[in-house]
């Protein structure tokens, strides 16, 4: 089962894709946000192109786990997106993924001081998606 992961920001959406088995996530691309209809059409096209069965959206919770204004904005956006997609949309905690993505890119690009923001967003989406996939695999193993 292919799963799409999204790190939704104010200006860009980082996008990650799982392998066909739904085990490994990889950064796919970054979408520069324009309008909801254009964003939703682009994301629906990716869902169709990659035969995605589920979309995981990063939920930006506060450090204490509470939902702040940004998390509420993302939830509204994701709810509207869900109405335009033929697959379910679920939320997953995205705390610290941007910081981790920056660190991963920094380690892999020692010559460059700062990673490109688009790369950071796509890697953050992959981290969100991988955490979701790991939890699902762990839950499945627990049932066996």
pLDDT under 70: residue ranges of the chain? 62, 95-102, 104-105, 109-116, 118, 138-144
End-to-end alpha carbon distance in the chain: 19
Task: Say which residues have a Cβ less than 8 Å from residue 4's Cβ, sequence separation at least 6.
Answer: 15, 16, 17, 18, 28, 43, 46, 47, 50, 52, 54, 55, 56, 129
Domain 2-143: top CATH class: alpha beta
pLDDT of 45:
98
Neighbours of 67 (CB within 10 A): 13
pLDDT of 120:
83
pLDDT of 69:
84
The full set of domain ranges for the chain reads 2-143
Predicted model pTM: 0.83
Q: Where are the beta strands (DSSP E) in the chain?
A: 2-8, 12-18, 25-32, 52-59, 89-93
> What are the CA-CA distances from residue 11 to residues 4, 18, 118, 131 (Å)?
19, 23, 10, 24
pLDDT of 64:
76
Q: What tokens appear for 43 in the block?
A: 């994301």
Beta bridge partners of residue 55, listed in sequence order: 4, 89
């Amino acid at each position: 089962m292919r799963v799409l992961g999204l790190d939704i920001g104010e200006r860009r959406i980082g996008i990650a894709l799982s392998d066909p088995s739904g085990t490994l996530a990889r950064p796919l691309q970054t979408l520069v946000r324009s309008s909801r209809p254009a964003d939703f059409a682009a994301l629906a096209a990716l869902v169709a192109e990659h035969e995605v069965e589920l979309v995981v959206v990063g939920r930006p919770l506060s450090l204490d786990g509470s939902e702040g204004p940004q998390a509420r904005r993302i939830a509204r956006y994701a709810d509207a997106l869900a109405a335009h997609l033929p697959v379910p949309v679920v939320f997953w905690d995205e705390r610290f993924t941007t910081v981790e993505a920056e660190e991963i890119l920094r380690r892999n690009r020692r010559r460059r001081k700062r990673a490109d923001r688009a790369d950071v967003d796509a890697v953050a989406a992959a981290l969100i998606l991988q955490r979701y996939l790991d939890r699902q695999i762990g839950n499945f193993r627990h049932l066996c």
